[in-house]
């Protein structure tokens, strides 16, 4: 029985998508729930699984095709054997009917083609107008030319392609070379190689035109919308990471042994952000029309680099999770993003976002809001700097610049600064997070 593979629902308001890479070829066996094809929507790239075990009989949509939600993109022969389906490479079109005949008669051996008769030479004088046109592969004809013709071409620097051979099979004769030399130099010069197309400004074109993916188009649109609809401001501070590094050094191995996951920096900042959001709930709110929606849950988006670009999966109810649970959840989401297996459920919602540009070496940046959220915390590279410590002593400390971009329509500057100071205090004294003080 044939089953159609259809484009699944890709989230609210998403009606179409683009076919990405096919993970299986026509004729290959598939297992139930095995990823078959990547589909790029305006929100994420998701892998569509096989609805049943069988054979991918026919691919209906190719990479780059635009498809609608619910549209059939392939046929699966349920329970069929792999040998019963013709294998045709993607892009070459399916085999008619999709089935391989039980026996294929052998083709008869090719019959030798009789040689074409050679036209006799004309008896009258052979002028330029009556000379036969140059045959393809002039170089080969020149190699069959007699020594006198080859020597004459070499003496005058004449290329073989500029000489029309009149002998059998296009052979170049001495008189052919003489006629070629009698023509103007411009006429016998080989055609110039085609030059790259020029742009209107006269420069040589050295560009490639590549269409944006649905995900990239949506990222671009939403970033512009954020700039146009929200009053975005950014405030900065710096954090001494000494205590967090000390905790990780002292308890990292025991943490890994007990929980099976490394103790990273992000769990500290997620918990610190939750405590700061509790103290300043307006940063966790959003503007909805002429209303402010305060949210009493803490679903923290963590920006991660995926196989198709930056995505922001959600660590839900982060306030109820332990450090180990936060680390495990972030690790799971990051792996799904790298494997292009992120789902709409992983991305939907979110009340606040944390973006760590420090892993790429960023020292300072101004993150852009993730609408409709009103705040985003930017983390940066840890770098040793000279700071003044207690007793006016100067010491080298591992410092990190942090940035809070916020929607000034509902978040005042005073609240934004105090929020960032609350994050700074929690990181510089991590026991505050554990004791919730």
- pLDDT of 225 reads 82
Average pLDDT over residues 69-86: 72
Q: How confident is the model over 37-64, as pLDDT tens digits? A: 988 876 677 788 899 999 999 999 988 8
Q: Which range, of 178-192, 352-366, 385-399, averages the lowest pLDDT?
A: 178-192
Q: How confident is the model over 267-288, as pLDDT tens digits? A: 999 999 999 999 999 999 999 9
Question: Where residue 82 falls among pLDDT bands split at 50, 70, 90?
Answer: very low
- pLDDT of 131 reads 42
Backbone angles phi, psi at 382, to 5 degrees: -85, 125
- pLDDT of 31 reads 92
407 is catalytic: no
From residue 398, give the alpha-carbon distance in Å to each of 246, 374, 383, 385, 401.
11, 29, 5, 6, 10
Residue 105 confidence (pLDDT) above 90: no
Average pLDDT over residues 386-412: 94
- Which of 259, 299, 408, 429 is flagged as catalytic? 408
Backbone angles phi, psi at 373, to 5 degrees: -65, 160
Buried b (16+ CB within 10 A) or exposed e, 1-19: eebebbbbebbeebeebbb
Q: Which range, of 26-30, 181-185, 187-191, 356-360, averages the lowest pLDDT?
A: 187-191
Domains, the chain, ranges and CATH? 2-84 (2.40.50.100), 217-435 (3.30.559.10)
Average pLDDT over residues 116-122: 44
Q: Name the CA radius of gyration of the chain, rounded.
A: 35
* H helix runs in 280-430, sequence order: 323-338, 344-347, 413-428
Q: What is the residue-averaged pLDDT of the chain? A: 79
Those residues with Cβ within 8 angstroms of residue 190's Cβ, 6 or more apart along the chain or in another chain: 159, 161, 162
380 is catalytic: no
- Which of 33, 65, 339, 412 is flagged as catalytic? 412
């Amino acid at each position: 029985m044939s089953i159609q593979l259809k484009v699944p629902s890709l989230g609210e308001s998403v009606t179409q998508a683009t076919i990405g890479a096919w993970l299986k070829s026509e004729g290959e066996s598939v297992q139930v729930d095995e990823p078959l094809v990547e589909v790029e929507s305006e929100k994420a790239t998701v892998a569509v699984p096989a609805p049943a075990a069988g054979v991918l009989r026919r691919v209906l949509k190719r990479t780059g095709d635009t498809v609608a939600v619910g549209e059939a993109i392939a046929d699966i022969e349920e329970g069929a054997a792999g040998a019963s389906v013709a294998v045709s490479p993607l892009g070459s079109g399916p085999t008619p009917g999709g089935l391989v005949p039980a026996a294929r008669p052998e083709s008869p051996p090719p019959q030798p083609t009789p040689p074409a008769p050679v036209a006799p030479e004309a008896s009258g004088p052979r002028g330029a107008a009556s000379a036969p046109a140059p045959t393809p592969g002039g170089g080969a004809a020149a190699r069959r030319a007699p020594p006198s013709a080859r020597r004459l071409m070499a003496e005058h620097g004449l290329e073989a392609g500029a000489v029309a051979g009149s002998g059998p099979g296009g052979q170049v004769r001495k008189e052919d070379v003489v006629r070629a030399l009698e023509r103007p130099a411009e006429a016998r010069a080989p055609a110039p190689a085609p030059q790259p197309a020029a742009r209107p400004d006269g420069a040589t074109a050295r560009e490639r035109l590549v269409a944006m993916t649905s995900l990239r188009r949506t990222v671009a649109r939403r970033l512009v919308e954020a700039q146009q609809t929200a009053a975005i401001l950014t405030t900065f501070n710096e954090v001494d990471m000494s205590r967090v590094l000390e905790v990780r050094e002292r308890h990292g191995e025991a943490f890994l042994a007990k929980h099976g996951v490394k103790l990273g920096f992000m769990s500290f900042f997620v918990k610190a952000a939750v405590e700061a959001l509790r103290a300043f709930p307006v940063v966790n709110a959003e503007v909805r029309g002429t209303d402010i929606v305060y949210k009493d849950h803490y679903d923290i988006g963590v920006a991660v680099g995926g196989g198709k670009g930056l995505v922001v999966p959600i660590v839900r109810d982060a306030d109820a999770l332990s450090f180990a649970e936060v680390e495990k959840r972030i690790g799971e989401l990051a792996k799904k993003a790298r494997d292009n297996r992120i789902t709409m459920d992983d991305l939907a919602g979110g009340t606040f976002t944390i973006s760590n540009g420090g892993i790429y070496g960023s020292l300072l940046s101004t993150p852009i809001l993730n609408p409709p959220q009103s705040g985003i915390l930017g983390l940066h590279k840890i770098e040793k700097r000279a700071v003044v410590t207690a007793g006016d002593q100067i010491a080298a400390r591992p410092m990190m610049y942090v940035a809070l971009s916020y929607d000034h329509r509902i978040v005042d500057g005073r609240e934004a600064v105090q929020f960032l100071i609350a994050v700074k205090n929690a990181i510089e004294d991590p026991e505050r997070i554990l004791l919730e003080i």
